Amino acid sequence: MDFLSRHKRAFFIIMTIVCLIAAVLTLGFKFQPTLFHNTIGYLVAPLQNGVTGIASWADDKFSFLFNSDGIKNENEKLKEEIEDLRLQNSRLKQTEEELEELRALYRLEEKYQDYPKIGARIIAKDVSNWQHIYIIDKGQNDGLEKNMVVLASGGLAGRILETGPNYSKIMAIIDDTSSVSAKSARTEDVGFVKGDQQLSSSGLCKMEYIDANAEMIEGDEIITSQLSEFYPTGLTIGTVKEIRTDQSGLNKYAIIQPAVDFKNLETVLVINRNFHEEYLDTLGDAYVGTQEE
Amino acid sequence: MRIFVTFILLITNLTLQSTLLHSIAIFEVVPNTAILIIVSYAILRGDIEGAFTGFFAGLLQDIFFGRYIGLNAFLYMTAGFICGKPFRDFYRESFLTPLFLSGVATLCYEIAFYFTNYFFRARLDFLYYLNRNILPGTVYTLIMSIPLYRIVYAINAKLEAYEKARRRLF
């Protein structure tokens, strides 16, 4: 300790240089010290799992104390809704049969309802207020790999950034650095759905690089396009809330309301196929990155 | 013994901060208890220990929630180092030192984070981020600074008593 006390400044400078080198290595050269990450993650993820489990157990047990009136009303409303949904369901079944036949005619393979999915629970959310990164409780031991797609309540939620043995780190599409190649379902106009910190506090994101002559209107459904290198085509992202022209007047951008409610996100589904690997296989040696990260 | 206790404290803080503290978030802002623990540690134990605690706390946060390693480690280490400089000059029982230093440290940390992650990606709307992210974060962290300082102070007092007893045996 005496040695340290006498050479404080030198040690501080050395540690600063270590941090800088680590940042350059991991950011610039994409070097990930996975053994180190995995060890710490392996220890902490079960703790986070436990705490979230206790919190949701407590929530389950005690929420009725605050909610008993609301529960009765909710019950009535839910019964009505069930009747409506039953009717809708039978109608949709008929439409689905027709769709099956038409699809067979065009020989379209692999609707995304058929992708193998794994359910997972979110056990931790990022502590800094600048990112939207979640930790889920499934990892390499359950067969998950980097860049797998994550869905939640029928819409695209994000993708996996890193996996450990028993946890994975996922990035939401409303995170500031996220960017998804997307198109409008009705008019097939392509663009990129990017997260924005200013919009993500209200749970929204924006779609950029839309052609100025595009005919998108409010309420259009936005789905992933076939140009994406991480996401399969046809996944619902959200609906257009507003369309604006940017300052230069040449491009339009749209505010998108995602189909997933990120404020109350608890369980997600991970598609167990690595589309990024398949995309790289189709390219062979000529790999060129797209606008997506 | 001290290293072990600090390690347990940092891991507990990370676990609780990423799970329970989100349920008491105001306007989507979570108090940054990691930096509070580091500043309290630095005030009570000096700059070297503050710097090491900061480094490991930042490393933990980077591993779990960062796209790359190094930024949080560096920022927390600097906070620990600088806040530990005056540790012999202030009374430990006073609550003004941790309050003031936590506020300044959190403010600098958030501004540095904005600078490295947002400013360099052409998100130049600093006033917006100041009002919606930086200032609420700082204020909420300030509110939590005194209880957390008491907790770290109590832990530190027990550890010092234990170390004193061990020294007397020889």
Q: What is the 3-state secondary structure of chain B?
A: CHHHHHHHHHHHHHHHHHHCHHHHCECCECCCHHHHHHHHHHHHHCHHHHHHHHHHHHHHHHHHHCCCCCHHHHHHHHHHHHHHCCCCCCCCCCCHHHHHHHHHHHHHHHHHHHHHHCHHHCCCCHHHHHHHHHHHHHHHHHHHHHHHHHHHHHHHHHHHHHHHHHHHHC
Task: Name chain B contacts of A165, Cβ cutoff 8 Å.
Answer: none
CA distance A124 to A138: 12
If one compares B43 and A245, the residue with the highest pLDDT of the two is B43
pLDDT given at position A108? 43
Pick from B163, B156, B143: nearest CA to B24: B143
Q: Which residues of A touch B34 (CB under 8 A)?
A: 127
Residues 6+ apart with CB under 8 A from A208: A191, A192, A194, A251, A253
Q: What is the DSSP letter of A70?
A: H
User: Whole-angstrom Cα distance, residue A162 to residue A38?
Assistant: 10
Q: Which residue has the tokens 């392509």?
A: A190
Q: What angle do CA A29, A33, A39 make, to 5 degrees?
A: 160
Check if the beta carbon of residue A154 is closer than 8 Å to that of residue B59. no
- For residue B61, the one-letter residue type is Q
Asked if the Cβ–Cβ distance from B22 to A44 is below 8 Å, we say: no
Per-residue pLDDT of chain A (293 residues; tens, 9 = 90+): 677 788 888 889 999 999 999 888 888 777 677 777 888 888 888 889 999 998 888 888 887 777 777 888 888 999 999 998 988 998 898 888 888 776 665 544 444 567 888 888 899 988 888 889 999 999 999 999 989 999 887 789 999 999 999 999 999 999 888 899 998 888 888 889 988 888 887 888 888 887 777 788 888 888 888 888 888 888 889 999 988 887 777 778 889 999 888 888 888 889 888 888 888 888 776 666 655 65
- Predicted local confidence at residue B34, as pLDDT: 93
Residue A234: the pLDDT is 84
- CA–CA separation, B81 and A16 (whole Å): 11
The CA distances from residue B99 to A269, A290, B3, B37, B46, in Å, are: 43, 47, 25, 12, 17
What's the mean pLDDT when you consider all of chain B?
Answer: 89
The mean pLDDT value for B76-83 works out to 92
Does B4 have pLDDT greater than 80? yes
Asked whether the beta carbons of residue B68 and residue A48 sit closer than 8 angstroms, the reply is no
0.80 cut: is pTM over it? Answer: no
Cβ neighbour number for residue A53 with a 10 Å cutoff: 14
Degrees, nearest 5: CA angle A160-A163-A164? 160
Chain A residues inside the 8 Å CB shell of B17: 127
For the domain B2-169, what is the CATH code? 1.10.1760
For B105-142, the pLDDT digits (tens) are 999 999 999 888 888 888 788 888 888 888 888 999 99
Indicate yes or no: CB of B18 within 8 angstroms of CB of A127: yes
User: How far apart (Å, rounded) are the C-alpha atoms in residues B166 and A211?
Assistant: 74
CA dihedral A222, A224, A228, A232 (to 10 degrees): 180
- What is the number of other CB atoms lying within 10 angstroms of the CB of residue A39? 14
Flag if B48 and A126 touch (Cβ within 8 Å). Answer: no
Domain borders along chain A are 116-284
- C-beta atoms of A44 and B15 within 8 A: yes
pLDDT of residue A266: 84
* Domain range list for chain B: 2-169
Interface test with B, best of A129, A168, A178 (most B CBs within 10 A): A129
The Cα of B9 is separated from the nearest Cα of chain A by a number of Å equal to: 12
At B81, list the tokens.
Answer: 């180092």
Q: What number is the ipTM of this complex?
A: 0.85
Q: What digits encode the pLDDT tens for the residues B57-66? A: 999 999 888 8
Sign of the CA dihedral running B41, B46, B50, B52 = negative
d(CA B127, CA B115): 13
Whether residue A268 contacts residue A152, with contact meaning beta carbons closer than 8 Å, is answered with yes
A34: tokens are 């996975």
pLDDT at B25: 83
d(CA B57, CA B59): 5
pLDDT at A105: 54
Position A111 scores a pLDDT of 46
* Radius of gyration (C-alpha) of chain A in whole angstroms: 23
Separation of alpha carbons A158 and A132, rounded Å: 10
Asked whether the beta carbons of residue A127 and residue B32 sit closer than 8 angstroms, the reply is yes
Architecture of domain A116-284: Beta Barrel (2.40)
pLDDT score for B170: 61
